[in-house]
């Protein structure tokens, strides 16, 4: 059996999905990157299976299959994907957009038009809040930088994009899932991914405590317990299809391909 080259996300919210997989060197070789890098590696064929931003499923040159039943999902506030602004949303004309994930950038475009009633300019930038706010009127930041940001000290308001999506649609949002080309996933590897998720969810407090030091342990625990889910069920799948539908409507993608699973 060939070793599966696995591309994982380095953020806290993905750690329960990969819990213990680095020890399964009989099945996987694992590397960690930001979401956009995971997608780029999958597109170029440098990994076999990646925890990719959901929008990237629509952008691969070859058709991908999704590993069923699991993903990084929110149903309400997500805490780690947010728009930070010192101005009313209705007044925003120029927004800096974190280059780490294209799914969140696409969601921002949808929310601006469907929920906020604005059509601003989007400026891709690295997630450095001072320079983002220095050059634009607001900033979208994802992952651990958004979760840990002391935005009130900076005089900013945090608008949670997971909460905005669920308010708009009544559905969960699927931020990422495992995907790869047909034929790369064996039954043993699929079982190992499910076992890693289940073990990781059960060990979420330990993962939270080990991730970013004791001063952030309580925040990390609450985040993994209350904001992030890991089961891609029927409601989450409906949210995923709705995201693709609206992404096509607002020309974030050319057309919405129906999600297909291994």
Model pLDDT for residues 157-185, shown as the tens digit of each residue: 999 999 999 999 999 999 999 999 999 99
Closest by CA position to 53, among listed 196, 215, 218, 174: 174
Q: pLDDT digit string (tens) for 125-165?
A: 999 999 999 999 999 999 999 999 999 999 999 999 999 99
pLDDT at 218 over 70: yes
- Calculate what percentage of the chain has a pLDDT beyond 90: 91
* CA dist., res. 34 & res. 183, Å (int): 25
Domains of the chain plus CATH, in order, are 4-73+172-238 (3.40.190.10), 81-169 (3.40.190.10)
Model pLDDT, residue 1: 62
* CA dist., res. 228 & res. 39, Å (int): 21
Average pLDDT value over all residues in the chain:
95
Structure tokens at 64: 């991908």
As a whole number, mean pLDDT of residues 92-106 equals 93
As a whole number, mean pLDDT of residues 25-48 equals 93
Element counts in the chain: helices (H) and strands (E): 9, 12
Structure tokens at 230: 């890991």
pLDDT at 43 over 90: yes
The model's confidence at residue 212, banded by pLDDT at 50, 70 and 90, is confident
Model pLDDT, residue 186: 93
Q: At 11, which helix (H) or strand (E)? A: none
Closest by CA position to 160, among listed 103, 107, 93, 225: 107
Asked if 107 and 140 touch (Cβ cutoff 8 Å), the reply is no
Model pLDDT, residue 163: 98
pLDDT at 101 over 90: no
Model pLDDT, residue 72: 97
Model pLDDT, residue 168: 98
Q: Give the list of residues 6+ apart from residue 167 with CB closer than 8 angstroms, or none.
A: 115
The model's confidence at residue 61, banded by pLDDT at 50, 70 and 90, is low
CB atoms within 10 A of CB 159: 17
pLDDT at 62 over 80: no
* CA dist., res. 71 & res. 233, Å (int): 10
Q: Alpha helix (H) ranges present in 12-142?
A: 35-44, 102-111, 129-135
What count of residues does the chain have?
A: 262
Asked if 172 and 74 touch (Cβ cutoff 8 Å), the reply is yes
Q: Alpha helix (H) ranges present in the chain?
A: 35-44, 102-111, 129-135, 143-148, 161-169, 187-202, 204-211, 217-222, 234-249
Q: What global pTM score does this model have? A: 0.95
What residues does 53 pair with on adjacent strands? 176
N-terminal to C-terminal alpha carbon distance within the chain: 18
Instruction: Read off the DSSP letter of residue 184.
Output: -
Burial class (CB in 10 A: 0-12, 13-18, 19+), 252: buried
């Amino acid at each position: 059996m060939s070793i599966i080259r696995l591309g994982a996300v380095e953020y806290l919210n993905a750690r329960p999905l990969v819990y213990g997989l680095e020890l399964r060197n009989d099945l996987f070789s694992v590397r960690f990157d930001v979401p956009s890098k995971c997608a780029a590696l999958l597109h170029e064929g440098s990994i076999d299976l990646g925890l990719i931003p959901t929008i990237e499923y629509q952008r691969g040159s070859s058709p991908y299959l999704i590993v069923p039943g699991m993903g990084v999902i929110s149903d309400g506030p997500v805490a780690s994907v947010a728009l930070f602004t010192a101005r009313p949303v209705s007044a925003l004309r120029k927004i800096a957009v974190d280059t780490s994930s294209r799914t969140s950038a696409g969601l921002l475009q949808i929310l601006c038009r469907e929920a906020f009633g604005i059509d601003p300019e989007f400026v891709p930038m690295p997630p450095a809040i001072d320079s983002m706010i220095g050059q634009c009127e607001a900033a979208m930041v994802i992952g651990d930088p958004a979760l840990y940001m002391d935005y009130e000290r900076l005089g900013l308001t945090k608008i949670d994009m997971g909460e905005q999506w669920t308010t708009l649609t009544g559905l969960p949002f699927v931020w990422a899932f495992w995907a790869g080309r047909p034929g790369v996933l064996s039954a043993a590897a699929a079982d190992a991914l499910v076992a890693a998720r289940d073990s990781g969810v059960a060990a979420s407090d330990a993962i939270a405590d080990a991730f970013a030091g004791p001063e952030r342990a309580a925040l990390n625990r609450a985040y993994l317990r209350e904001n992030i889910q890991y089961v891609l069920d029927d409601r989450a799948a409906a949210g995923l299809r709705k995201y693709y539908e609206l992404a096509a409507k607002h020309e974030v993608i050319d057309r919405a391909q129906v999600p297909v699973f291994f």
